[in-house]
Amino acid sequence: MKVWEYILRRLLLAVLVIFGVSVVTFFIARVVPSDPAALWVGPRPSPDQIAAARVKLGLDRPLHVQYFYYLGNLLHGDLGVSIKTHQPIIQDLRAYLPATLELVLVGMAMAVFIGIPLGVLSAARRNRFLDHFSRLVAVASVSIPTFWLGLLLQLIFFGHLHWLPIGGRVSIETTLYRPIQTVTGFYLVDTLITRNWPAFRDALTHIILPAFTLATYAIGLTIRMTRSTMVEVLQEKYIVAARAAGLSERTILFRLALKNAIVPTLMVLALSFVYSLTGAILVEVIFSWPGLGSYVTAAIINVDFPVIIAVTLVVTVFYVLINLVLDLVQVALDPRVVLK
Amino acid sequence: MLPKRSFLALIVLVALAVLLSLVGCRPSTPTPAAGETPAPPKENVAVYAHPTSFPDIDPSVSYSNDSAVVSNLYETLVWYNPPMHPQLLRPGLAERWESNADATEWTFYLRKGVKFHDGTALNAQAVKYSIERTITMGMGASYIWDPVEEITVVDDYTVRFKLKYSAPLDLIAASGYGSWIFSPACVEAQGEKASEWFNEGHDCGSGPYTIESYERGRRLVITRFDDYWGGWKPGQFTKVVFEVVEDPTVRQQMIEAGTADVTYDIPRANLAALDARPDVVVYTNPAFQNLVGLLNVRKPPLDNKLVRQAISYAFPYEQFIQTVVSGYAVQSRGPVPLGMWGHGDQLFQYTYNLDKARDLLAQAGYPNGGFKLVMTHVAGDLDERQVGEVWKAELAKLGIDLEVRGMSWEAQWDLGKSDPMQAQDIFVMYWWPDYVSPYSFLYSMFHCEEETLFNLGYYCNPQYDELIDRANELSGSNRAEAERLFVEAQQILVDDAAAVFFYDLVNTHAVRADIKGYVDNPSYPHVVFFYELSR
């Protein structure tokens, strides 16, 4: 099968998945006991206000009719309006999604660049000091609670050393005097494009602690995963043959062995990437990072159902796309895997 | 077939492109062009580390923590003074105001020379437009204008309100929710999308500051409005940054490090240590907010006044306040909190006395208790839960089994609004006023209701209703008499033990010591009027 045909087929399937998710979330969100009309009006809604809001929001119509209206709007790219903030959700997402994506991407990059080399070296030097050390790092990083690590890092790097800021995406000085021109919403990218170097430096120093806090779990996972698959691969005959042929250790480890060992690690990383989109709530709160996690948590507490559905759909889209990309990467890396 | 390397690169590129297109390439907030120009000389900037984001900053809709921002951008016709001030009100955009004898017609005389941020001038038409927009939108606190029948522009600087019934319109006009005046031209220019436009980070006010930039959920910057009618003096803040910082420990670190100038909602256990620092002052003031447990007077056994009185004697008020809330509260005297006009400082207070409680139960026919009560509260509110747990232990000594049920507010309220015979026995919640009048407390929680809204103890007493309705009518024309009637009505509630009045809350704000002029005004909860401050 051709690659494009395969992609097309998967995308068509994805539409079905997204439709299914929209049905399930819509109806679940609406059977939870709550009154969206009352929330829409404010903290002290009067019966008249609630009645008016119910009509305005179309809540007086049967549930299935409401769903078809919702679906119709969705097809036009309209994700609806937040019951709490009364604002189009698409605008909220434009503000919160890039912030989270940037944080998670940097975190995942840290996991790749710290976790994979440590895992590889750990497997290569089995039962030696580096192996014990990296296993300790792995166990520690999957077991440390995020909120505790975040506060500890703040206390050290902000409180005592004054090296890094306590939270936020950029400093107040940047907002006031070197404002970032929003192009993509990723501050690191935007400041590079507009060559706003001081703001780039500022954004970079702000992202280090939260991204590292977010990455610790993934780092631990990556080390463990890479090590175990590498240990297996290093016992294969072709590695023995390569050693016999006198290839350098570096070539053997990183070019021959890692290529066959990396697929499961990538799978784990990709899944933890998508999980972090909404699961980074603790990191976002501790580091005052205005992301999707805090946004959707507030929505869940308030039973702001249009937001809950919209975020679920966005995350579903990411899941579907990431899975597709992963499958294609697997095809590219592993000749035994063929498209069907 | 593509070579594998290019194939991989292609996948990565496509993935990135999809990612960027999903995120969208339009700016989320209008930001001035970036540049590498050197930073201008340091301005006088204040930073308010705020624990929540700002749900809606449309002045007609704002009815939440967003008033912290809105109050610095817009003005009302009248302002409330902070407690202990000899005058309840002071002029705002209206220099003076008057009403007819029965408070059904109010005239406000506007200040001259006031400009809105779009350059247009304040006039009577703007006042009429603003309040009518708020009423028409019907959102937030718009219901406070319910008494208004007609608004008339008498001349450029005089506006008259004709009411459907007597009401204290001066108090209503001073409310921190739904009473803001804005420029009609500015709002009209945005057409139907005005609300959206406000929330992208714009304003149409006449206040001392105007919005400079807004990153939703994170940071809002306001900058001084040069043409503000009050003028500017050296030392006043030229810019104010509202930083949304949800984590209380982080807010504390910021105020200690001086990266924030004002904050609130610091863990109580840390307040004393914070106050001991030379560079931070912790201001402790009454908050116009209290914690009450509304008792279901329709359902046995709490339909019996003696039982209600008995359980009122079974809560260890003082001990709870000293230990659980570290002294940052005061035992309530009736439903109107300390510091507010209409508070009855001579009202009877139930104290912790289990012997008395036992006697009352015996008189009511329950010498050994032997019944069960259900108390509902908002899950996640630690103070409410602890009230329940402490009370449960005390009531157990009387043979009463208290079930403490934490629920989402929605579910708690739904149960409360259902059939009183099937609903909770005790409904625990906080109350705060929409506009600062005892009537907000006394009407909402205790006036007879045909359809239950906030009278969640289902109390109904025509004699009481008559007193507070009369007092409300008088609060515009004869405030002293109104106050007397309000206190008299509260005595009825206390005698009837219509609710357990646990405690009045206290506001604590941590402010850097070099900030001058800070005064907390609980009529505008957690609002900091930055125009009044300096450094």
The pLDDT, as a whole number, for residue B41 is: 53
More confident residue, A302 or B203: B203
The Cα–Cα gap between B151 and B526 comes to: 31
Nearest-neighbour CA in chain B from A131: distance (Å)? 31
- Sequence-separated (6 or more) residues with CB below 8 Å from residue B56: A85, A86, A87, B62, B63, B64, B66, B140, B195, B199
List B residues 241-260 in contact with A (Cβ-Cβ < 8 A).
Answer: 241, 243-247, 249-250, 253-254, 257, 259
The pLDDT, as a whole number, for residue B236 is: 96
The pLDDT, as a whole number, for residue A1 is: 66
Q: Do A49 and B143 contact (CB within 8 A), yes or no?
A: yes
ipTM: 0.86
The Cα–Cα gap between A180 and A176 comes to: 10
Mutate to test the interface with A, among B18, B220, B247 (most CBs of A within 10 A): B247
pLDDT in tens, A212-231: 999 999 999 999 999 999 98
Q: Do B430 and B291 contact (CB within 8 A), yes or no?
A: yes
Which residues of chain A are within 8 Å of residue B63 when distances are taken between CB atoms? 42-44
List B residues 24-43 in contact with A (Cβ-Cβ < 8 A).
Answer: 24-29, 31-36, 39-40, 43
The Cα–Cα gap between B402 and B411 comes to: 19
More confident residue, B80 or A33: B80
Phi, psi for B516 (deg, rounded to 5): -105, 150
Pairing of β B499-512 and β B262-264? antiparallel
Q: Do A309 and A25 contact (CB within 8 A), yes or no?
A: yes
The pLDDT, as a whole number, for residue B17 is: 52
Among candidate residues B450, B473, B461, B451, the one with its CA nearest the CA of residue B499: B461
- Sequence-separated (6 or more) residues with CB below 8 Å from residue A20: none
Phi, psi for B450 (deg, rounded to 5): -70, -45
The pLDDT, as a whole number, for residue B345 is: 92
Compute and round to an integer the Cα radius of gyration of chain B. Answer: 26
pTM: 0.88
Phi, psi for B149 (deg, rounded to 5): -100, -40
The pLDDT, as a whole number, for residue B187 is: 97
- Sequence-separated (6 or more) residues with CB below 8 Å from residue A19: none
pLDDT in tens, B34-87: 344 444 556 899 999 999 989 899 999 999 889 999 999 999 999 999 988 989
The pLDDT, as a whole number, for residue B15 is: 53
Long-range contacts of B190-198 (CB under 8 A, 24+ apart): B194/B58, B195/A86, B195/B56, B195/B58, B195/B60, B195/B61, B196/A87, B196/A88, B196/A91, B198/B57, B198/B58, B198/B59
The pLDDT, as a whole number, for residue B5 is: 52
Reduce the DSSP state of residue A252 to 3 states and report it: helix
- Sequence-separated (6 or more) residues with CB below 8 Å from residue B132: B151
Joined together, the tokens standing for residue B61 give 């809709």
- Indicate whether A251 pLDDT > 60: yes
pLDDT in tens, B116-138: 999 999 999 999 999 999 999 99
Distances in Å between the Cα of B185 and the Cα atoms of B100, B117, B197, B206, B470 are 32, 11, 14, 13, 40
pLDDT in tens, A283-298: 998 998 988 888 888 8
The pLDDT, as a whole number, for residue A46 is: 84
Which residues of chain B are within 8 Å of residue A87 when distances are taken between CB atoms? 56, 196, 199
Which residues of chain A are within 8 Å of residue B218 when distances are taken between CB atoms? 99, 168-169, 288, 290
The pLDDT, as a whole number, for residue B319 is: 96
Joined together, the tokens standing for residue B375 give 């108390």
Number of cross-chain residue pairs from A and B with Cβ atoms under 8 Å apart: 189
> Within chain B, which residues score under 70 in pLDDT?
1-42
Among candidate residues A97, A92, A101, the one with its CA nearest the CA of residue A214: A101
More confident residue, B458 or A49: B458
The Cα–Cα gap between B416 and B429 comes to: 11
- Residue type at position A279: G
Compute and round to an integer the Cα radius of gyration of chain A. Answer: 24
Residue A75: Cβ-neighbour burial (10 angstroms; 0-12, 13-18, 19+): exposed
A188 C-beta neighbours (distance < 10 Å), count? 18
Specify the CATH architecture of the domain A89-291: Orthogonal Bundle (1.10)
The pLDDT, as a whole number, for residue A250 is: 85
The pLDDT, as a whole number, for residue B232 is: 96
The Cα–Cα gap between A330 and A333 comes to: 5
Number of alpha carbons in the 13 Å side-chain half-sphere of residue B211: 26
The pLDDT, as a whole number, for residue A45 is: 86
Nearest-neighbour CA in chain B from A132: distance (Å)? 34
More confident residue, B10 or A140: A140
The pLDDT, as a whole number, for residue B14 is: 55
- Sequence-separated (6 or more) residues with CB below 8 Å from residue B221: A175, A176, B211, B212, B213, B214, B239, B240, B241, B242
Joined together, the tokens standing for residue B234 give 């050296």
The pLDDT, as a whole number, for residue B30 is: 36
Contact B34 A191 (CB under 8 A): yes
Which residues of chain B are within 8 Å of residue A3 when distances are taken between CB atoms? 7
The Cα–Cα gap between B164 and B145 comes to: 10
Among candidate residues B180, B105, B115, the one with its CA nearest the CA of residue B148: B105
Give the chain A residue whose CA is nearest to the CA of B4. Answer: A332
Contact B196 A199 (CB under 8 A): no
- Residue type at position B47: V
More confident residue, A299 or B430: B430
Does a cis peptide bond (omega within 30 degrees of 0) precede residue B301? yes
B496 C-beta neighbours (distance < 10 Å), count? 17
Among candidate residues B353, B315, B321, the one with its CA nearest the CA of residue B338: B321
- Residue type at position B53: S
Q: Which helix (H) or strand (E) holds B288?
A: strand B280-295
- Residue type at position B416: G
